[in-house]
C-alpha cells in the first residue's frame, strides 16, 4: 500500500492472485512430504538409514520436479491464470510479471518443504521450526523492510522490491535448508558405517574360526 500509491488496492489484489496460484503448487508438494513422513519415521526407528536416505531422495527430487514443471507452466500461462480471478485487464497486466517474479524460486522451495517435513519425521523439532520460519519470517521480513527502499533509491519501483523480497528469501532459506540436510545425511552415512561394523567383525571372526 505504501509503495503502490493510488494503485495500492490493485497491488493488494495482484498479490492475492499470485498467492492463490502459488498455493496450488504448495499443496501438491505437501503431499510428498506427508507421504514421506511415516516411511522415514518407521525406518529411523528400525535404524534402516539407507531406506531413510532413499525415501528422502525420491521425495526431494519429485517435489523439485513438480515445482519446476509447475513454475514453467504457470510462467508461460500467467495471463490466462490471472484471468480466472479477475476481469480487470489492468490488474491482469500487473499480475503477469508479479507471478513470474514471486514464483521464480519455487523449483528450490519444493526441496525446502520436503526438508522441513523430513526433520519433523526424524524428531529434529528445532531444525524443522527453524527451516519453516526462515522462509516466511526470518529472511522475508528484513527483505520486505529493505528492498522496497533500495529499489526506490536506484530509480525503480518500491512495489518491485516487495515482489523480489519473496524469491530472494526463498533462495536463502532453501540454501540454508539444503546445508542442514547435507550435514544430517553425512551423519546418517556415519551411523550406517557404525551399524555395519559389528556384522563385518562377526564375519571376519567366523572366517578365522573356519580356517583354524
What does the domain layout of the chain look like in residue ranges?
A: 5-204
Tell me the per-residue pLDDT of 4-25, one tens digit each, with 9 for 90 and over.
556 678 888 999 999 999 998 8
Query: Is the distance from CB of 172 to CB of 139 less than 8 angstroms?
Result: yes
Query: Is the distance from CB of 139 to CB of 175 less than 8 angstroms?
Result: no
Instruction: Please check the confidence at residue 211 and state whether its pLDDT lies above 70.
Output: no
Tell me the per-residue pLDDT of 34-65, one tens digit each, with 9 for 90 and over.
889 999 988 888 878 888 889 999 999 999 99
Instruction: Please check the confidence at residue 202 and state whether its pLDDT lies above 50.
Output: no
Q: Name the band, by pLDDT with cuts 50, 70 and 90, for residue 33.
A: confident
* pLDDT number for residue 178: 93
Q: Determine the average pLDDT of the residues in 71-92.
A: 93
Query: Is the distance from CB of 67 to CB of 25 less than 8 angstroms?
Result: yes
Q: Name the band, by pLDDT with cuts 50, 70 and 90, for residue 201.
A: very low
Q: Would the pTM count as exceeding 0.75? A: yes
Spatial distance between the Cα atoms of 118 and 75, rounded to a whole number of angstroms: 29
* Torsion, CA 173, CA 179, CA 184, CA 190, rounded to 10: 180
**Closest CA relative to residue 162, chosen from 138, 177, 145:** 145
Amino acid at each position: 500500500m505504501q509503495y503502490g500509491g493510488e494503485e495500492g488496492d490493485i497491488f493488494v489484489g495482484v498479490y492475492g492472485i499470485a498467492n492463490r496460484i502459488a498455493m496450488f503448487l504448495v499443496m501438491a508438494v505437501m503431499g510428498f512430504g506427508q507421504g514421506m513422513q511415516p516411511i522415514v519415521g518407521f525406518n529411523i526407528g528400525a535404524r534402516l538409514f539407507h531406506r531413510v536416505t532413499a525415501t528422502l531422495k525420491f521425495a526431494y527430487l519429485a517435489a523439485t520436479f513438480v515445482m519446476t514443471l509447475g513454475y514453467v507452466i504457470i510462467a508461460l500461462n500467467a495471463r490466462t491464470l490471472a484471468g480466472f480471478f479477475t476481469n480487470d485487464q489492468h490488474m491482469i497486466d500487473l499480475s503477469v510479471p508479479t507471478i513470474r517474479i514471486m514464483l521464480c524460486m519455487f523449483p528450490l522451495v519444493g526441496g525446502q518443504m520436503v526438508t522441513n517435513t523430513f526433520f519433523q519425521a526424524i524428531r529434529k523439532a528445532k531444525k524443522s521450526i527453524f527451516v519453516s520460519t526462515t522462509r516466511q519470517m526470518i529472511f522475508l521480513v528484513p527483505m520486505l523492510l529493505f528492498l522496497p527502499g533500495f529499489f526506490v533509491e536506484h530509480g525503480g519501483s518500491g512495489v518491485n522490491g516487495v515482489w523480489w523480497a519473496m524469491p530472494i528469501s526463498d533462495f536463502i532459506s532453501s540454501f540454508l535448508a539444503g546445508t542442514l540436510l547435507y550435514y544430517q545425511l553425512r551423519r546418517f552415512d556415519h551411523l550406517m558405517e557404525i551399524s555395519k561394523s559389528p556384522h563385518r567383525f562377526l564375519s571376519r571372526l567366523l572366517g578365522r574360526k573356519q580356517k583354524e
